[in-house]
Structure 1
């Protein structure tokens, strides 16, 4: 991976014309390096010597050349993680928490650089990515603060002593998607580390740069081999990790299809603990007593249009009562009007790109198919007009969507909001529950009884009443049905990275031994 000054991997971060902004100049400095995997505390090329390009979805030019890891790299990372686990798990929970707090401080010092890299290779606005990094730092500190909650209980089952204790699994594989690169890379290792495990992190090949920089940060703080970062362009690395006999715990965030494939692959080797945070086709239900202005704002916020709807938690179905539907749609169109499509490195950017051209084409196909089925475009509908660079798709609102339309059932993972009108409460609940997913939901109404009645009826794991989009640290986040297994962002996540052991201390003879003692 020798680099020359003419290496096209460091092409312009903006279209031709004009000077570089401070963010663009700093991004160039960050990209001007030889990227390395982190294995056993060493920064390495892939053992095969192979590398693959990473492109900017704004310029569609190559910005980096990244090691293309494979089976050998995954195996080496697991071996190093297994070796590091022994000493790490022997530390007290408080000692582990102290080191995770030091890691949080180190990440915070590089927060600007991590956000820049996410904006460059992911295309989301830098202000949004800065919030992601801040939340990731908060997550590290939150789980460090929970370290002493890794406790057991005593049970008065007999005159003897019966207690439980929690012990770590060993090597944990964490496989993360492209949409929140730094947030997921950093936050997803917090609970496993505090619980006493070692980690092999596999970032998405589309957006690996901040995770690789995070690996460098870990190298300066943590014991060698405790966190390893291995990426490859394809399924070799994740498949090797999932099937490795020394990986006993797997955490995956991504698509439903990949999640099910991971379950199958893991089960072919051994019985493993697998948690999955998968897709969603989430519904926001708006009742006629709700304020159309608040519903519109909640729909726009919940749809995550800022990073082009590329979020599994997006409320991508707006189930709005016919009595307020026109007012709500009119206000949504006003909120989405006059959007400026600019470089994700601009501090004023409010609209992100699609991550790559294949996903871009897939989203446009969804919109075209929906219109062919009878949906009507109420806002957006395609690429922005004019000479706008980058893989942008306008925030799109589809009215007159029916519950049997493909766009009403499949996860688009793009800036497409499907509007379904209804008149009966039970009908709205049936539509909301009529998909195979069950991640998030939202209910807008001023009737407290109705709010709780409908919330309880929704087959989803995370629900807002008169709100949308926001996550709250300490509130368990996780899906039902095909949206996944397990919970994150709360104590439940920390405990899930430990195993419960029951211990029986025989202080007294029991059963026939007791009777024998009495008769002697």
Structure 2
């Protein structure tokens, strides 16, 4: 296969909705110039870097390229603000997050539009992310408010009081595929636990994350939340900073391994959590309603959410051999009907990849799949239009020995594999080192429980896909991560237990 440009019937004209960059930026910065947010105010960096609109491939603004020294300044500000923030009650902190939620509700549409420009995710997807952030800011404080210390009596003449103490300053490094949602979700539990935070925006999508400073300015005390943009230097400075005791990362397993290596070299003991990628299986059994199963499997790909750039995308579709071809036919039809276009065009169903580098990485996976003998069912080409577009792509006749069968693509590419029975389905699902999410589609409850229990993944759907359940811990098994999010487990991970042991003297 070559990557000769072709235009699918569903592609839209890149100029159908002209991006209004100045207007989108001015909604958050009066002069239209994105800046870091440190200490409750906009701050700049000595250097700046250009950022591009993925829908056109053109530069549309520049952002701070934060240096190591400038990250150190942000950490110092967060340290100074932390004692007063920790002295507040959990109820007070929850009220502050309520004010942030109100600001987000007021400016949510403007943020969704800016993020569509910044990330390439279509407007329905960025609006959905705003809605999820509103939900998290409303519901998650209840998890913290429901927690309490405990008192035990380990001895006849003594009691032990156990409380939770914040770490101090938390460093949060977020991924590029949902920049504002990940930043907002990532600050809720650290703040509720009494920490302050420094967020490092993704280098590919920094603008939508930095824009959150406009919402924080009048709602959160200065220094409690600080946001910087930058690349490897900024991230490394946050990871190794001696006063940052807790690091949370969302991204690739390779970067997580590099961070762990740097943590070991930092000279300080730190707590680390990571939500990483996956090569996630979607198992379709012979008894499934094929129309429903194919629709759910397509939704699980996240093509219409982020062009398949999703850690939880169930892009490895395992289908019983008796219904395999029928499912492939339905999946291909859905992909061929997708309307591609600029993210800010309201008619767009799938937008571009985030960058030229990511587009080229996806195309390299496509080429390797063809070279190794996979059968291309549909897609596989770039799109003849500006921007970083790749057609929705489906391969079959794949194996785990192929690169496409074992590595996360992080793009609009899915594969199918056949299985004969439950044992083979489980074996195929558990191939590889990653284990973030999985889905099982069947009308047999016993089979669902057997498969769901046997598949090695941290988050498993049965007759569902791509939907999160509030309070249900999200995170990966194996190489897909450390720790859990969106739950009481995440809240507790941002504090340390402290035991106050008291001997009671006899009367």
Distance, in Å, in 2 between the alignment partners of 1:16 and 1:373 is 34
Could you say what secondary structure the match of 2:254 adopts?
A: helix
Partner of 1:184: 182
Q: Alpha carbons of 1:228 and 1:430: their partners in 2 closer, same or farther (altered >3 Å)?
A: same
Distance, in Å, in 2 between the alignment partners of 1:461 and 1:174 is 21
Larger Rg: 1
Q: Deviations over 1:375-428 (max 9, x none)?
A: 1111212224xx433211111110111121111100110111111111122121
Partner of 2:367: 368
Structure with more contact order per residue of length (Cα contacts < 8 Å, sep ≥ 6): 2
Partner of 2:255: 258
Could you say what secondary structure the match of 1:355 adopts?
A: coil
User: Structure 1: which 5+ runs fail to align?
Assistant: 1-13, 510-516
Distance, in Å, in 1 between the alignment partners of 2:398 and 2:363 is 16
Relative to the length of structure 1, the TM-score reads 0.91
Distance, in Å, in 2 between the alignment partners of 1:58 and 1:146 is 39
Distance, in Å, in 2 between the alignment partners of 1:18 and 1:396 is 24
Could you say what secondary structure the match of 2:343 adopts?
A: coil
Within the candidate set 214, 221, 228, 2:212 is matched to: 214
Within the candidate set 205, 208, 221, 1:223 is matched to: 221
Distance, in Å, in 1 between the alignment partners of 2:15 and 2:201 is 33
Could you say what secondary structure the match of 1:290 adopts?
A: coil
Q: CA deviation at 1:224?
A: 1.0
Distance, in Å, in 2 between the alignment partners of 1:312 and 1:16 is 27
Q: How does 1:344-359 map to 2 (within 5 A)?
A: 344-359=343-358
Q: Alpha carbons of 1:67 and 1:24: their partners in 2 closer, same or farther (altered >3 Å)?
A: closer
Q: Does residue 475 of the first structure (1) align with residue 504 of the second (2)?
A: no
Distance, in Å, in 1 between the alignment partners of 2:290 and 2:359 is 31
Within the candidate set 166, 171, 174, 2:172 is matched to: 174
Q: Deviations over 1:336-395 (max 9, x none)?
A: 2232222211222110110000110110110111011111111212224xx433211111
Distance, in Å, in 2 between the alignment partners of 1:348 and 1:220 is 35
Relative to the length of structure 2, the TM-score reads 0.93
Partner of 1:113: 110
Does structure 1 retain, via aligned residues, the 8 Å contact 2:40–2:217?
Answer: yes
Within the candidate set 136, 141, 153, 2:150 is matched to: 153
Q: CA deviation at 1:288?
A: 0.9
Distance, in Å, in 2 between the alignment partners of 1:105 and 1:19 is 29
Does structure 1 retain, via aligned residues, the 8 Å contact 2:17–2:342?
Answer: no
Q: CA deviation at 1:18?
A: 6.9
Distance, in Å, in 2 between the alignment partners of 1:438 and 1:78 is 34
Could you say what secondary structure the match of 1:323 adopts?
A: coil
Distance, in Å, in 1 between the alignment partners of 2:404 and 2:17 is 42
Q: CA deviation at 1:456?
A: 0.8
User: Structure 2: which 5+ runs fail to align?
Assistant: 1-11
Q: Which moved more, 1:23-32 or 1:351-360?
A: 23-32
Q: CA deviation at 1:152?
A: 1.8
Within the candidate set 398, 402, 407, 1:401 is matched to: 398
Could you say what secondary structure the match of 1:110 adopts?
A: helix
Partner of 1:292: 290
Does structure 1 retain, via aligned residues, the 8 Å contact 2:17–2:345?
Answer: no
Over aligned residue pairs, what C-alpha RMSD do you find?
Answer: 1.8
